[in-house]
Each structure stands twice: as structure tokens, then as C-alpha cells.
């Protein structure tokens, strides 16, 4: 392993380092100050959907502990904080009446960040769709894209003057593939038709939201956060090579092409176009020029051809990681070259603006021993991925910053509270926060960089 000084020196002075969270995963206060339910509030109450029916009702109680949490962030020495705004706090019914108390909370939070010298990097949508909109079809309905634009305009009008950059949507792949095709995330659908409709609605919402934000503040740097996959064929056979390309189109290009090129790939249109309700002008709306984009990367995807006669498009199967590989506690393969390989591939295929790594981190469920959380495996993961990120920069790829996922342990969606991604340990019974060794390592890296 390289020395912390050598690693720190690989990043220039203007490189942005931060931490990241999301509203439903940390805030709690699910029924306070006018907030109404999101689809995740409903989904988590359904038996068998979330581990032990855990929910975000309390989570990390950040809604009440935000001031001490901001002090904690500041103590780490980071430059910026990436968080999400809860749509159900701002527009409890998704549209219509604005809840001023919700806006007041985010105003206090953002003002607190500004006072502490932290740069403000909000995301408008991190999966907590107001439940009322599910009655209209949720993300399968075009009206939800229009509602998102209205929500964007309200937030930017009130808070946009203190934002350093704004992301429209976090991880459309999870919202479409995991939530509407595989049934793992809310609303838990397993429908190719719903999936196809959601893909286009999400892409359209991004375009409409970007337009709405710029209509209010033309100088606000706009972007979107995509969890693209580094995809590798399971073997060098032509069939697996072709399968890997099909998987790339299905998992990555389905968002990158419309957003950055204003078109869907012919294969995507052949498979799903008749279910997407694409209307005249939609692709021009989706294809807004962006100031930046965010990449969330955790693990690679290894692909083989699916030879089953009834295999769905793109006729691929994911090969699970071999036990000989280094795995995190959630079972994901650690492969840092996937990050640099993916950046190289994406910048080779598309004309992309500068990039931030908006999420990267590892699930290790280490608990305190005499007050110390010795999560050396997370430190090893982070160091490897920092090196890969620096390698990408050395090749000329414009990576401008990094947000570590996550600031603290939190509600890990379908996994509930059993999986821990934080560099800060949370005791969910007492809400006591304890810095893990990885937080101290990150703090030390940033201190070394500033003193160099």
C-alpha cells in the first residue's frame, strides 16, 4: 500500500472531497412537520419486502440531529456534503400545496453547511417518491415527470442561491431495473412494461427538471447521478463478448444515450420502444447540456450469454463472484480496476462533461470493540479505489471530486439496518455516532493533502 502522503499528492488542490447520504436513509421523522408517506414508507411496511420490516421511520434521526451531524462532517476535513432533499417533505401529495416546514428544514441544513464552509451538493430525487403519486402510476406515468419539474422549480427558487451544484436524479437504474423489473426496491414491480415506461419517464423527468432549475437559476451547475456498471464478459468467447455488449446497452446506454446523445439505441427501441410512450420533442428535452455528471461505483458486473429458450432481452446472465475473490459483507466483489475501466469506456463512447464520483464505498459490518471500530477492510477498499480514480485522472479523464458513501451507517433499503456502509458507526438504539478507523484514515488523508 502506498503511503497516505503519496496518495494525497495524487490529487490537486482543487479536487473536491466529500461524504454522501440520502434523505430516507438517515432523516427519520417520517410523519413530522407535514411530511406524508413516500413509496418507501409503504414498501417497508409490507411483510417480506425489507429485512425484518425495518423502515426509515427513525433511521439515524438526522432530522433532529442535523446540527451535530454537520459538525461531524466538518470535523472530517471534507470540502463538501452530498445529500438528498425529500420530495414528500416539500410537496406531501407530490403536487399542489407546498409544505413550508419542509423547505424550512432544508434551508436550516444548507445554511448550516454554508456557515461551516461546506460546499452544498444536493440531489432532488433519491427514491422517496410521494406515495400519492403512485396512485397516478408513479414513475410509469408521464405526469410524474411533470410533477418532478414542478417540485424542482419550488426547491431551486427557495434554496438554489446557496447550492454549489444540483443533481436531478440519483441512479435511474435502481429506480427502473431494481424497482420496476426485478421487484427488489419500491414499488416492487416485476413488469417489463412498467420498466420500459419508467425508463422513459425518468429520462424525461431529468430533462424537464434541468429545464425547470435553469429557468430559475441559469448559473446553477446541473447534473445527474448514474450508477453505470463496469461490465466484463465471463469468458473471451464471442457469445459472451456479445452478451457483455448487450448488457452494457441494457444497463448503461439506456440512460447515457438519451441523456447525452438525444437518442435511444436501436436495440433498446426494438426491445422496449413500443412500451415507452416516446412523444415528439421528448428526446430533445432529455438531451439537456449538463455541467457535470456523477458516477456511483461499487462493484463490477460479469456477464455470460443466457442460453435459455425463454430468456428475456438482452439474453444475459450475471455470473456471481467466485469465493476466491475479495468480497464485501454484502457479497459484492472488490475490483478497483472496474472504476478506471468504466470511466475510460464511458468517455470513449460518449461526449461527457466533467465527472464526480458521487458514491463509492464498501459494506463491512464491523462493530465496536472497546470503543474502536477497526474496519481495515474498508480502508483497503477506499485506498484501492482512490488509486484507480487517480489513475483515471492521469489519463486525462476529468474527474473533479469524490463523495464517500456513506457518512454514517443507515437504512440500506431492502437490506434494512443489517448492512453498514458508513465510516461513522451508528448505534440505532442510542443514536450515538462513533468514528470508525476508516473515518480517521479519510480525515488523515485530507489533513495530509492540505498540509502538503
- The catalytic site residues sit at 171, 359
Rounded Cα distance between 71 and 84, Å, is: 18
Rounded Cα distance between 10 and 19, Å, is: 19
The answer for residues whose C-beta is within 8 angstroms of residue 238's C-beta and 6 or more apart is none
Q: Residues, the chain, total?
A: 452
**Grid coordinates standing for 261?**
446523445
DSSP-derived 3-state class of residue 429:
coil
B/e letters for 426-439, b = 16+ CB within 10 Å, e = fewer, are beeeebebbbbbbb
Do the bridges between strand 222-226 and strand 293-296 make them parallel or antiparallel, or are there none, so unpaired? Answer: parallel
Rounded Cα distance between 407 and 409, Å, is: 7
Nearest Cα neighbor of 357 from 331, 334, 382 is: 382
Element (H, E) at 66: helix 62-75
**Grid coordinates standing for 356?**
464526480
The answer for residues whose C-beta is within 8 angstroms of residue 440's C-beta and 6 or more apart is none
H-only helix segments in 294-436: 337-349, 376-394
Do the bridges between strand 316-318 and strand 301-305 make them parallel or antiparallel, or are there none, so unpaired? Answer: antiparallel
Q: Is the dihedral of CA 190, 191, 194, 199 positive or negative?
A: positive
Q: Is the dihedral of CA 173, 175, 177, 178 positive or negative?
A: positive
C-alpha separations of 272 from 170, 187, 251, 328 in Å: 22, 20, 13, 34
**Grid coordinates standing for 279?**
412523444
Cβ atoms of 22 and 127 closer than 8 Å: yes
Bond before 133 cis per omega within 30 degrees: no
Amino acid at each position: 500500500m502506498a503511503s497516505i502522503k503519496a496518495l494525497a499528492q495524487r490529487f490537486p488542490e482543487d479536487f473536491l472531497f466529500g461524504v454522501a447520504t440520502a434523505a430516507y436513509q438517515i432523516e427519520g421523522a417520517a410523519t413530522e412537520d407535514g411530511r406524508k408517506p413516500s413509496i418507501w414508507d409503504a414498501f417497508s411496511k409490507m411483510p417480506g419486502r425489507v429485512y425484518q420490516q425495518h423502515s426509515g421511520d427513525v433511521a439515524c434521526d438526522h432530522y433532529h440531529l442535523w446540527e451535530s451531524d454537520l459538525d461531524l462532517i466538518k470535523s472530517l476535513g471534507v470540502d463538501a456534503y452530498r445529500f438528498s432533499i425529500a420530495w414528500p417533505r416539500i410537496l406531501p401529495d407530490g403536487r399542489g400545496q407546498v409544505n413550508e416546514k419542509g423547505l424550512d428544514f432544508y434551508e436550516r441544513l444548507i445554511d448550516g453547511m454554508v456557515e461551516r464552509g461546506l460546499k452544498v451538493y444536493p440531489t432532488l430525487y433519491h427514491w422517496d417518491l410521494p406515495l400519492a403519486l403512485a396512485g397516478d402510476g408513479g414513475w410509469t406515468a408521464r405526469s410524474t415527470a411533470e410533477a418532478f419539474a414542478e417540485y424542482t422549480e419550488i426547491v431551486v427558487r427557495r434554496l438554489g442561491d446557496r447550492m454549489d451544484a444540483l443533481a436531478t436524479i440519483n441512479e435511474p437504474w435502481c429506480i427502473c431495473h431494481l424497482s420496476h423489473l426485478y421487484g427488489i426496491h419500491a414499488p416492487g414491480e416485476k413488469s417489463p412494461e412498467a420498466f420500459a415506461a419508467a425508463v422513459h419517464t425518468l429520462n424525461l423527468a431529468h430533462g424537464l427538471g434541468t429545464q425547470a432549475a435553469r429557468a430559475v437559476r441559469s448559473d446553477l451547475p446541473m447534473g445527474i447521478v448514474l450508477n453505470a456498471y463496469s461490465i466484463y464478459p465471463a469468458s473471451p468467447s464471442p457469445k459472451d463478448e456479445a452478451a457483455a455488449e448487450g448488457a452494457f446497452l441494457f444497463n448503461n446506454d439506456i440512460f447515457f444515450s438519451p441523456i447525452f446523445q438525444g437518442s435511444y439505441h436501436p436495440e433498446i427501441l426494438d426491445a422496449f420502444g413500443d412500451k415507452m410512450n416516446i412523444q415528439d420533442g421528448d428526446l430533445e428535452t432529455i438531451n439537456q447540456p449538463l455541467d457535470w455528471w456523477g458516477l456511483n461505483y461499487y462493484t463490477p458486473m460479469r456477464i455470460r450469454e443466457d442460453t435459455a429458450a425463454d430468456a428475456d432481452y438482452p439474453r444475459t446472465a450475471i455470473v456471481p463472484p467466485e469465493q476466491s475473490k475479495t468480497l464485501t459483507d454484502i457479497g459484492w466483489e472488490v475490483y478497483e480496476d472496474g472504476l478506471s475501466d468504466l470511466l475510460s469506456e464511458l468517455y470513449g463512447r460518449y461526449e461527457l462533461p466533467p465527472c464526480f464520483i458521487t458514491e463509492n464505498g464498501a459494506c463491512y459490518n464491523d462493530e465496536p470493540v472497546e470503543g474502536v471500530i477497526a474496519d481495515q477492510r474498508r480502508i483497503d477498499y477506499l485506498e484501492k479505489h482512490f488509486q484507480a480514480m487517480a489513475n483515471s485522472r492521469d489519463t486525462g479523464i476529468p474527474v473533479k471530486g469524490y463523495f464517500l458513501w456513506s457518512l454514517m451507517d443507515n437504512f440500506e433499503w431492502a437490506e434494512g439496518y443489517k448492512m453498514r456502509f458508513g465510516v461513522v458507526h451508528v448505534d440505532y438504539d442510542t443514536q450515538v455516532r462513533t468514528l470508525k478507523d476508516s473515518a480517521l484514515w479519510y480525515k488523515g488523508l485530507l489533513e495530509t493533502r492540505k498540509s502538503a
